[in-house]
Structure 1
Amino acid sequence: MNYRESLDYLYGLQRFGIKLGLENIRTLLERCGHPERGYGIIHVAGTNGKGSVSAALAAILQHAGYRTGLYTSPHLHSFTERIRVDGDAIAEDEVARITILLRSLAEGVPATFFEFTTAMALLHFQQRQVDFAILEVGMGGRLDATNAVNPRLCVITPICFDHAEHLGDNLAAIAREKGGIIKEKVPVIVGRQEPEALEVLMEEARSRHSSLFLCGRDFSPDGGPDGFGFHGMGLELSGLRPGLLGAHQQENLSLALAAAAVLRLQGAGIPGAALREGIERVRWPGRLEWWGGRREVLIDGAHNEGGARVLAAYLSSLPITGVRWVAGIKGIRPIRDILGPLLPHVSALYCTRPPVEESVDPELLAEQGAAAGVPAEAYETPEAALAAALRDRRRDEIVLVAGSLFLAAAAREFLQNQEMPSA
């Protein structure tokens, strides 16, 4: 089995769909000899910001000299991006080798795509002898495949509405699912939350006798003309120049720093220089990413109301005269929750389909935009929509690509093969 054949097998597992529960992954890990027990695990849940927090903490640990695994989803361009050690994606031949091994061990187990890839990541981390592994929850937390581990630390980013069909239709229910990663006597870092979500998370922590560290109470970020600062939990940092853009990233980065502070209390050697270098050098493509470093095309994976709001806040801070938005949304997303915060900042809308099986009809998106007074046109492909937006862009305007990480990936691939037109 080569890499392409292994991907065919892995994606074929999607026939099992999304199946929340831990029985399959526990069976797989037992048959693998429990690779997840060979290193320290930091488990990260929440709605938005999970990937950014995970990437920042991984960067801090790497700069502290630890071999660090990072498991995130989805990927932008290649499956291998999901599983990294010290920033390097798993090799294609390693994907094929582990797929062959796990396929034999999984006989009789109807593992889903995510369950199988989670086992692959944990096994790869063991084989690469990592010191720490950071696992980003795929969906929810309580019944997510990543929750079969016993972490040293848990982190929960801000919670908002997402995947309501699986997690619940109110914040308390969603928070209970995400708070399900909290383990007995395992410390948990919690980002700022709406009151109903915070109440649930505090209850979960109390019931499991877990030390709870809250953003805004036990630690806090602050930003100003001299850079980003962090205060609390034995750390006093100032003048940081984050590698991730946006005021909301200061909250995410503060969670990574708080996590590092807890690891230090647990005995990990993480010098101040590693904290600073990790925060300043971390990169996370597709999240408030200015393509090529030029302030002309902004790519962001905002795909729910929370993501749309932080993106809107960033747009309001820019010295620009207009935003030409290339928009594409997955079919299960509530359209108005994404359009609502962003349309007031948009001068023209280029509606398309992200490259996924289910997507919102571009014509429907265009109708919603027009109803809000924004000129809008529909395009069948992301490439056509982005080409039109680039052609129409005027000086002091930007092109925004947002609505789905899959759309962000398509835009990046298109731009890699195009010469950026000048205004």
Structure 2
Amino acid sequence: MNYQQTLDYLYSKLPMFTRVGASAFKKDLTNTIIFCEALDNPQQKFKTIHVAGTNGKGSTSHMLAAILQAQGYKTGLYTSPHLKDFRERIRINGKMIRKNEVISFVKNQEKLIDEVEPSFFEVTVAMAFDHFAKHQVDVAIIEVGLGGRLDSTNIIQPELSVITNISMDHTNMLGNTLEEIAGEKAGIIKKNTPVVIGEKQAKSAPVFIAKAKEMNAPILFADAILTAQNFKIRNAKLSLAVYQDDQIKYENLICDLTGTYQHKNILTVLQSIALLNTTTKFQVSNDSIYAGLKQVKKLTGLQGRWQTLSKNPLVICDTGHNEAGIAEVIKNIAQTPFEKLHIVFGMVKDKDISKVLSMMPKNATYYFCKPDLERALDANELKNQAKAFKLYGKSYPSVVDAKVNAMNSAKENDLIFIGGSTFVVAEAI
């Protein structure tokens, strides 16, 4: 099999959450444990940092990887889903796993795949662990796919657990309340292993504190220790100052991820690095923090976070796709100067569509579209639901069609925003 045939085999053979939704979510770790045991437990051969959360876990994972790379550590990074190429999920020092490595892994494990019948995600996690072990990384940042407690990544014993925040998402699998969702995310908290929580939220904090106590895990809330001030966006960079106990700790930090929500993730990352410095053998200098944050995209290949695709007209995309993520997107739109607003928009069926639509700007022309996957909501259906919220526009057969029509309609000083779903962004960039 060549690379494309290998991917076709994985996509067609294995249940894949991004395509079909809940039916691909395996509610225990059995398959992952069996698969990794057959590979001689590669996940035990390198140090890890485990990152969960409803929003921000991708950005946080990439920032941590960038800083550790800047310090000179050989750094693995496992994230999901991918936007353009499957290999984005598995990187070392920003470089994607090679095509021939994907091919040989699948070829060598074909018999095991037939026997275990794992999900797509379970195979991908095992592939990442195997890759990081073979290449002897110093540390790997492992982003949770979904939830935490039952996520395939949750067979690692990390140096540090990180949970960014909690909001309503994937309620059909993780629970219908913030407390239930927090309980699933808290499943990554391990015995005697420190945990950083990004945001102290009234409903989720008691869940995390109770779990940390049960596991004898030291727990810190980043936003209770650090505060961010003096935000500015200049030359496509975010600058801010970070204080601890009214004392400046980081002056003029610059980050190439410019979404206004990134300051929350930056505080989570800074507190995580501080904890690594005091509780593990990893030592990270302030110089590496500054250098890493300044070039996250270059060092790690991150895309899709308040990303400018072109100018005149300004075209920006963002992968925010649930209630909390869309709220942050809307804040960013409000802070961006434009004459007219055009929104290329698509969603998947298992999101709280009406809640998201109720939040979207009414002063925009909409270009409704359907990303190319089974879970996607039909563009006409989305258009009809949007009408009830006074959101008006036309529907288009594909994301590319919608984007082209928006580009043709927009004038030089207009803003085109593309989003609603990670998969809309993937097809637009």
Give the TM-score, by structure 1 length: 0.93
Query: Which residue matches 1:110?
Result: 117
Q: Does 1:13 align with 2:14?
A: yes
Q: Which moved more, 1:33-42 or 1:332-341?
A: 332-341
Aligned to 2:61, the other structure's residue is in SS state: helix
8 Å Cα contact 1:349-1:369 kept in structure 2: no
Query: Which residue matches 1:185?
Result: 192
The aligned amino acid for 1:228 is L
**1:391, 1:34 → 2: CA distance?**
53
* Equivalent of residue 100 in structure 2, options 60, 75, 93: 93
Query: Which residue matches 2:19?
Result: none
Matches within 5 A, 1:255-334: 255-265=268-278, 266-283=280-297, 284-292=302-310, 296-334=314-352
**1:190, 1:301 → 2: CA distance?**
22
Query: Displacement, 1:102?
Result: 2.7
Structure 1 stretches of 5 or more lacking a match? Answer: 413-423
Query: Displacement, 1:2?
Result: 2.7
Q: Does 1:2 align with 2:9?
A: no
How many residues end up aligned between the 2 structures? 411
The aligned amino acid for 1:241 is I
Q: Does 1:52 align with 2:59?
A: yes
Query: Which residue matches 1:418?
Result: none
Query: Displacement, 1:367?
Result: 2.5
Q: Deviations over 1:196-229 (max 9, x none)?
A: 1111111111111111110222233333359312
8 Å Cα contact 1:367-1:376 kept in structure 2: no
The aligned amino acid for 2:408 is R
8 Å Cα contact 1:20-1:145 kept in structure 2: no
Query: Displacement, 1:193?
Result: 4.1
The aligned amino acid for 2:256 is G
Q: Which moved more, 1:351-360 or 1:54-63?
A: 351-360
Q: Deviations over 1:282-325 (max 9, x none)?
A: 12211100114666101111211111000001111112222100
8 Å Cα contact 2:76-2:91 kept in structure 1: yes
**1:295, 1:275 → 2: CA distance?**
34
8 Å Cα contact 1:159-1:193 kept in structure 2: no
Query: Which residue matches 2:20?
Result: none
Structure 2 stretches of 5 or more lacking a match? Answer: 17-22, 234-238
Query: Displacement, 1:394?
Result: 2.1
**1:398, 1:389 → 2: CA distance?**
10
The aligned amino acid for 2:379 is P
Query: Which residue matches 1:229?
Result: 241
**2:420, 2:231 → 1: CA distance?**
29
Query: Which residue matches 1:134?
Result: 141
Query: Which residue matches 1:417?
Result: none
**1:343, 1:102 → 2: CA distance?**
49
**Percent identity (aligned):** 34
Query: Displacement, 1:342?
Result: 2.0
8 Å Cα contact 1:235-1:261 kept in structure 2: no
Query: Displacement, 1:30?
Result: 1.4
Query: Which residue matches 2:379?
Result: 362
**1:122, 1:109 → 2: CA distance?**
17
8 Å Cα contact 1:184-1:210 kept in structure 2: yes
8 Å Cα contact 2:313-2:407 kept in structure 1: no
* Equivalent of residue 394 in structure 1, options 411, 415, 422: 411
Query: Displacement, 1:32?
Result: 1.1
Q: Assess, with a 3 A threshold, how the Cα gap between structure 1 residues 352 and 124 changes in structure 2: closer, same or farther.
A: same
